[in-house]
Amino acid sequence: MVSRVIPVDTFDLVIFGGTGDLARRKILPGLFRRFIAGQMTGESRVIGAARSELDDAGYRDLVCEAIAEFGGAEKDSGRLEEFLARLHYVPIDATGEGGWSDLRDLMRDGVVRAFYFSVAPSLFGALAERLHSNDVAGPDARIVVEKPFGRDLGGARELNATLASHFDERQIYRIDHYLGKETVQNLMAIRFGNVLFEPLWNSHYVDHIQITVAETVGVGGRGSYYDKSGAMRDMVQNHLMQLLCLIAMEPPSQFEADAVRDEKLKVIRALQPVEPHQIVRGQYDAAAGAASYREDAENPRSFTESFVALKLGISNLRWAGVPFYLRTGKKLKARSSEIAVVFKDLPHSMFEGDEKRHRNILSIRLQPNEGIDLQVTIKEPGPGGMRLVDVPLDMTFADALGDEAEAPDAYERLIMDVIRGNQTLFMRGDEVEAAWRWTDPIIEGWEARSDVPKLYEQGSSGPEDAQMLIHRDGRRWRDIRG
Ligand code: NAD
């Protein structure tokens, strides 16, 4: 099977911070892959804009190196020169006045104009203002805003207000790359495209839901940035919250940006406050030859968490009484992201002597090996009576769909959605604020009582207390498997 590529309109995409890490690792290699796939049609161009004093040729060299390093198999496609010819560069300081008229002169009428803010969040406001005051953007332009979107409700509100004074909400694309992942969208296809699951997707049949995003890496070179943020701000408020919304939301009336985002917002608004005993924070300890979190963060007195596990409830008819267990952390035993819907036990087993608890579990794997499996109970093959065994009905996309499963990376997909003008997979301003409104009291509580994170062993599943969090409810975490 060959992937279907839907062409997009001709565009000028300006990447502010076009020489930075995110641009080099994700955005530019992603655009190159879309170019090869035939999606960067017409005379579309990419314009790097950053503080470095480069010209077009210098920028093309930089992008060439980035693609050699991060471009995957496509770097050998023989089409790099063609792609590089579409690149331009304008030196610009987001906080200064130089360079803006050059950028304005370069922009063309009659094509989609998009501006990717791949710079520190402290510059988002300055960029929005200058795009507007220098008349670079135009009424139909789109801006793409990276995370983090504020570090609390006050900051997010301020940023929303600044952006709103220059752009309409329909022009603002707040990116959360988790929403661009193939499996995350598949989650909606599975829930709302099949008759099988939706009737069971409620407190009558679901025992609990687990969401795990586990990383093996530490904070490494991002230590000082991360130390001001922590797992709650860096992962839970955005990525895990978005996954939770898609799992828990009511069916939107249509697959359309505001219909989907309205339902996600209702979930966030229905989240119960989290009590201190429902949440565990952790920090990775030193290991043989490996630095501790505090050493990585270069802050010997840091109380920032590199791990968090929590139990939360949703106050609505569908989910009353169903716990959601979320956890995320660094330096854990495997790199693995999974959503598991654990269904309730059968109320009665007719199979005599079958003492084991058999459960249907729908597991949605985001990484590695994106796919879905459903644990079902069957008869163990062979003679000797009715012994039951749990087996997975596995659908690893790469096996089931072949080439078709080679979906674009999340960033590529989301950038193409920006060009198409499709905001479905981007966060709306009120969603982000609602997520902070729920997160802020938790973080404020930690700060008020100088909460000290529990140390955990590198390569483990997190602190012992995180096990207790779920064990005391008579449940257990799923194994973190790579
Ligand atoms: P970076 O420090 O590597 O790059 C920053 C870029 O901004 C550089 O191109 C630099 O020249 C430019 N810049 C700095 N000051 C400027 C100014 N005054 N005017 C114009 N340009 C200026 O940062 P990064 O890691 O690429 O991150 C960029 C954004 O993406 C940040 O908001 C970050 O939080 C977000 N983000 C990054 C990653 C990642 O993996 N790197 C992941 C998620 C989100």
Q: DSSP of 112-124, one letter per residue?
A: EEEEEE-S-GGGH
Residue 18 marked as a ligand binder: yes
Sign of CA dihedral 455, 301, 335, 312: positive
Nearest protein Cα to ligand 1, atom 1: 20
Tens digits of per-residue pLDDT, 32-89?
A: 999 998 888 889 999 999 999 999 999 999 999 999 999 877 777 789 999 999 999 9
Residue 457 marked as a ligand binder: no
Cα atoms in the Cβ-side hemisphere of radius 13 Å centred on 133: 12
Residue 207 marked as a ligand binder: no
What does the pLDDT average to over 185-203? 93
Is any ligand 1 atom within 6 A of the Cβ of residue 97? Answer: no
| CA–CA separation, 395 and 223 (whole Å) | 37
In the reported structure, the alpha carbon of residue 148 is separated from the centroid of ligand 1 by a whole-number distance in angstroms of: 11
Residue 234 marked as a ligand binder: yes
| Ligand 1 atom nearest residue 148's Cα | 34
pTM: 0.94
In the reported structure, the alpha carbon of residue 144 is separated from the centroid of ligand 1 by a whole-number distance in angstroms of: 13
Q: Which of 15, 116, 119, 143 to mutate to test the pocket of ligand 1 (most atoms within 8 A of CB)?
A: 119
| Ligand 1 atom nearest residue 26's Cα | 40
In the reported structure, the alpha carbon of residue 16 is separated from the centroid of ligand 1 by a whole-number distance in angstroms of: 8
Catalytic-labelled residue, pool 132, 166, 239, 277: 239
Provide the pLDDT for residue 1. Answer: 42
Is any ligand 1 atom within 6 A of the Cβ of residue 19? Answer: yes
Provide the pLDDT for residue 281. Answer: 98
pLDDT of residue 98 exceeding 80, the answer is yes
| Ligand 1 atom nearest residue 95's Cα | 18
Provide the pLDDT for residue 2. Answer: 44
pLDDT greater at residue 392 or residue 429? 429
Nearest protein Cα to ligand 1, atom 44: 147
Is any ligand 1 atom within 6 A of the Cβ of residue 146? Answer: yes
| Ligand 1 atom nearest residue 19's Cα | 9
Is any ligand 1 atom within 6 A of the Cβ of residue 126? Answer: no
What does the pLDDT average to over 181-192? 89
Is any ligand 1 atom within 6 A of the Cβ of residue 252? Answer: no
Reading the block at residue 1, the tokens are 């099977």
Q: Which of 19, 21, 95 to mutate to test the pocket of ligand 1 (most atoms within 8 A of CB)?
A: 21
Tokens 């969603």 locate to 431
Q: Are 426 and 433 in contact (CB under 8 A)?
A: no
Residue 333 marked as a ligand binder: no
What is the number of residues in the chain?
482
| Ligand 1 atom nearest residue 20's Cα | 4
Reading the block at residue 277, the tokens are 């005993």
What does the pLDDT average to over 180-196? 90
Domains and CATH numbers, the chain: 11-146 (3.40.50.720), 179-247+272-408+452-471 (3.30.360.10)
Reduced to 3 states, what is the DSSP secondary structure of residue 140?
coil
Tens digits of per-residue pLDDT, 251-285?
A: 999 999 999 999 999 999 999 999 999 999 999 99
DSSP 363-414: EEEEESS-EEEEEEEEEPSSSSS--EEEEEEEEEHHHHHGGGG-PPPHHHHH
pLDDT of residue 222 exceeding 60, the answer is yes
Is any ligand 1 atom within 6 A of the Cβ of residue 62? Answer: no
| CA–CA separation, 374 and 360 (whole Å) | 7
In the reported structure, the alpha carbon of residue 118 is separated from the centroid of ligand 1 by a whole-number distance in angstroms of: 5
| CA–CA separation, 364 and 187 (whole Å) | 8
DSSP 177-240: GGGGSHHHHHHHHHHHH-TTTGGG-STTTEEEEEEEEE-S---GGGHHHHHTTHHIIIIIIIII
Sign of CA dihedral 22, 24, 30, 34: positive
| CA–CA separation, 168 and 173 (whole Å) | 11
- Whether 239 sits among the annotated catalytic residues: the reply is yes
Task: Tell how strand 371-379 and strand 388-396 pair up.
Answer: antiparallel
Nearest protein Cα to ligand 1, atom 25: 21
* Average pLDDT over all residues of the chain: 93
pLDDT greater at residue 75 or residue 361? 361
Q: Which residues contact 206 (CB under 8 A, 6 or more apart)?
A: 200, 322, 341, 342, 343, 344
DSSP bridge pairs for 16? 49, 117
Is any ligand 1 atom within 6 A of the Cβ of residue 21? Answer: yes
In the reported structure, the alpha carbon of residue 94 is separated from the centroid of ligand 1 by a whole-number distance in angstroms of: 12
Provide the pLDDT for residue 346. Answer: 87
303: confidence class by pLDDT, cuts 50, 70, 90 = very high
pLDDT greater at residue 356 or residue 17? 17
Is any ligand 1 atom within 6 A of the Cβ of residue 95? Answer: yes
Left (φ > 0), alpha (ψ -120 to 50) or beta: where does 370 sit?
beta
In the reported structure, the alpha carbon of residue 125 is separated from the centroid of ligand 1 by a whole-number distance in angstroms of: 14
**Closest Cα partner for 12 from 106, 77, 76?**
106
DSSP 411-469: HHHHHHHHHHT--TTSB-HHHHHHHHHHHHHHHHHHHHTTPPPEEE-TTBSS-HHHHHH
In the reported structure, the alpha carbon of residue 259 is separated from the centroid of ligand 1 by a whole-number distance in angstroms of: 32
Is any ligand 1 atom within 6 A of the Cβ of residue 17? Answer: yes
Is any ligand 1 atom within 6 A of the Cβ of residue 253? Answer: no
Percent of the chain with pLDDT over 70: 96
CA 292 to chain centre: 26
Is any ligand 1 atom within 6 A of the Cβ of residue 238? Answer: no
pLDDT of residue 425 exceeding 70, the answer is yes
pLDDT of residue 194 exceeding 50, the answer is yes
Tens digits of per-residue pLDDT, 223-237?
A: 888 999 999 999 999
| End-to-end alpha carbon distance in the chain | 28
| CA–CA separation, 24 and 236 (whole Å) | 26
In the reported structure, the alpha carbon of residue 19 is separated from the centroid of ligand 1 by a whole-number distance in angstroms of: 8
